[in-house]
């Protein structure tokens, strides 16, 4: 195993400067438990310094007072430079979070750069001034709604898609003219640290994008409660999201929360079973099930349940686990030993409640944090494994007795992030989708994250939406500017309070 003394040490980025802290976090490759790198660990004092740098940059107007078109030009230059560095970014990403090279290339980094470019285009297209209809009562007047940057935005990002989900926050924040402080997950800070340096080399002024790796309980909590932070954007667990809401409430910050999920994959009785089997497995096992919108509950017609489980098992046996840098590998490890143990505990708990493991259900011998692709049958929707987010390669199969029953089971959840419907009848699929309480419903597909439409969840899956044409709304303040056109004192309704002067 490589030792920490033989690997590169990465520093925080605050106010355009590399900053060390005297404390380190060691980054581990989940596939083999080797040490990837060390990184400076920030604390509340470093968060304070980063917020101060962001606020100073905002107040000078070096970024906030550029025209939207000027900001878009710089952001496109950054995206081009990131694309030139894509191989390096891919390696930084998969070395820390266990993604396969196919997934890191297509989703983790490929999507990240494309989506950042989309936010640059939004800066050009966004309605920064929105005139209201001319008023005629009580006086003639015109109002215009201005959309203006909030100030300092805090982005707290997860480990599963470190760069992509960070840029879902950084991109619209920068497009709107804000300054940003990022607290990446302590397991996966390398790709956003590198992106910040790429951004500064390509025209982003120092202090506009700051990155402070650190522990969530210290650095993250300080960001969430900091009085000079006007907006918190967070992706992660529902439990942590609740704590961020509590901390942000002290200064009444704006918040966007993208939280957990327990997505239903609803198979109807007219579905193409070959496509549905592949789609359900894809919906659950991509990135080893470590995706918030994964379809982890397969709702299957009762009379074909046994056949469908048998098909799932045979197809899932073809999923290849192996070195994450091998293009033939389908599925990598989970993030760490704690998560591996947690996933296995859910599986053992399901067995204790009467469910049956039809495939997998075990860890693989190390090194690395591997969990077999697992299919659990005989599940009812009241079992813990059907209620709680496992965040691993575990698919549970629940029988249903027709469309109405399937919809009832799908909606019987604390979550409502994403769902899929599998049917050969488009009209029937659309009718089911209308009744699903979920932020996204994919018909005959899964994991279709499109930057041109909003993404987020109902219920305890979050607050607000990311992506889509209105993505900048969450990173701006609305100011109404009212211009009187009546032409003088006599036309005003002031006599409701004040009599006319002699």
- Distances in Å between the Cα of 167 and the Cα atoms of 110, 223, 369, 370, 482 are 12, 18, 27, 28, 35
**Considering just the CA atoms, what is the radius of gyration of the chain in Å?**
25
CA dist., res. 112 & res. 271, Å (int): 33
Closest CA relative to residue 474, chosen from 466, 482, 484 = 466
CA dist., res. 416 & res. 460, Å (int): 7
Q: Decide if 31 contacts 324 (C-beta within 8 A).
A: yes
pLDDT (tens digit, 0 to 9) for every residue of the chain, 502 residues total?
A: 344 457 899 999 999 999 999 999 999 999 999 999 999 999 999 999 999 999 999 999 999 999 999 999 999 999 999 999 999 999 999 999 999 999 999 999 999 999 999 999 999 999 999 999 999 999 999 999 999 999 999 999 999 999 999 999 999 999 999 999 999 999 999 999 999 999 999 999 999 999 999 999 999 999 999 999 999 999 999 999 999 999 999 999 999 999 999 999 999 999 999 999 999 999 999 999 999 999 999 999 999 999 999 999 999 999 999 999 999 999 999 999 999 999 999 999 999 999 999 999 999 998 999 999 999 999 999 999 999 999 999 999 999 999 999 999 999 999 999 999 999 999 999 999 999 999 999 999 999 999 999 999 999 999 999 999 999 999 999 999 999 999 887 788 888 888 766 5
- Residue 272 burial (CB count, 10 A): 13
Give the pair of three-digit tokens for residue 473.
């709304």
Q: Decide if 212 contacts 189 (C-beta within 8 A).
A: no
Give me the active site residues, please.
258, 292
- Residue 176 burial (CB count, 10 A): 28
Closest CA relative to residue 297, chosen from 182, 213, 442, 410 = 410
Q: Can you list the domains of the chain with their CATH numbers?
A: 45-259+461-480 (3.40.605.10), 264-443 (3.40.309.10)
Give the pair of three-digit tokens for residue 26.
């060691």
What's the whole-model pTM score?
0.96
Closest CA relative to residue 335, chosen from 157, 161, 213, 187 = 187
Distance of CA 4 to the CA centre of its chain: 30
């Amino acid at each position: 195993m490589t030792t920490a003394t033989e690997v590169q040490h990465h520093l925080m980025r605050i106010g355009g400067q590399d900053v060390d802290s005297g404390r380190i976090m060691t980054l581990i490759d989940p596939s083999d438990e080797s040490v990837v790198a060390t990184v400076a660990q920030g604390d509340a004092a470093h968060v304070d310094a980063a917020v101060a740098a962001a606020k100073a940059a905002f107040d000078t107007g070096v970024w906030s007072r550029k025209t939207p078109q000027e900001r878009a030009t710089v952001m496109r230059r950054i995206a081009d430079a990131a694309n030139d560095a894509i191989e390096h970014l891919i390696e930084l990403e998969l070395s820390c979070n266990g993604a396969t090279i196919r997934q890191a290339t297509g989703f983790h980094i490929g999507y990240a750069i494309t989506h950042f470019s989309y936010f640059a285009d939004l800066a050009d297209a966004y309605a920064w001034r929105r005139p209201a209809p001319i008023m005629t009562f009580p006086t003639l007047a015109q109002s215009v709604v201005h959309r203006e940057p909030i100030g300092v935005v805090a982005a707290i990002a997860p480990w599963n898609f470190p760069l992509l989900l960070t840029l879902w926050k950084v991109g619209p924040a920068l497009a709107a003219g804000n300054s940003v402080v990022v607290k990446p997950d302590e397991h996966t800070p390398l790709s956003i640290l590198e992106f910040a340096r790429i951004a500064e080399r390509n025209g982003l002024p120092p202090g506009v994008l700051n990155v402070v790796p650190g522990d969530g309980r210290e650095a993250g909590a300080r960001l969430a409660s900091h009085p000079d932070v006007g907006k918190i954007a967070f992706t992660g667990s529902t439990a942590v999201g609740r704590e961020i809401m509590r901390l942000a409430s002290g200064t009444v910050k704006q918040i966007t929360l993208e939280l957990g999920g327990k997505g239903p994959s609803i198979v109807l009785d007219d579905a193409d079973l070959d496509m549905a089997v592949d789609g359900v497995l894809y919906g659950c096992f991509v990135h080893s099930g470590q995706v918030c919108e994964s379809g982890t509950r397969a709702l299957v017609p009762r009379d074909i349940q046994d056949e469908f489980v048998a098909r799932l098992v045979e197809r899932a046996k073809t999923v290849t686990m192996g070195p994450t840098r091998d293009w033939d590998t389908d599925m990598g490890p989970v993030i760490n030993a704690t998560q591996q143990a947690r996933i296995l505990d859910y599986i053992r708990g399901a067995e204790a409640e009467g469910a049956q493991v039809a495939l997998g259900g075990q860890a693989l011998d190390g090194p690395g944090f591997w969990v077999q692709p697992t299919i659990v049958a005989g599940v009812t929707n009241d079992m813990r494994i059907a209620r709680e987010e496992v965040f691993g390669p575990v698919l549970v199969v629940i029988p249903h007795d027709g469309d109405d029953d399937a919809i009832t089971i799908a909606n019987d959840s604390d979550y409502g992030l994403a769902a899929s419907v599998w049917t050969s009848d488009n009209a029937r699929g659309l009718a089911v989708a209308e009744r699903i309480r979920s932020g996204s419903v994919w018909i005959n597909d899964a994991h279709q994250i499109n930057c041109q439409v909003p993404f987020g969840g109902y219920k305890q899956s979050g607050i607000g939406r990311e992506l889509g044409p209105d993505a900048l709304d969450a990173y701006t303040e609305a100011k109404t500017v009212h211009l009187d056109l009546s032409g003088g004192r006599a036309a005003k309704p002031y006599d409701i309070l004040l009599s006319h002067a002699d």
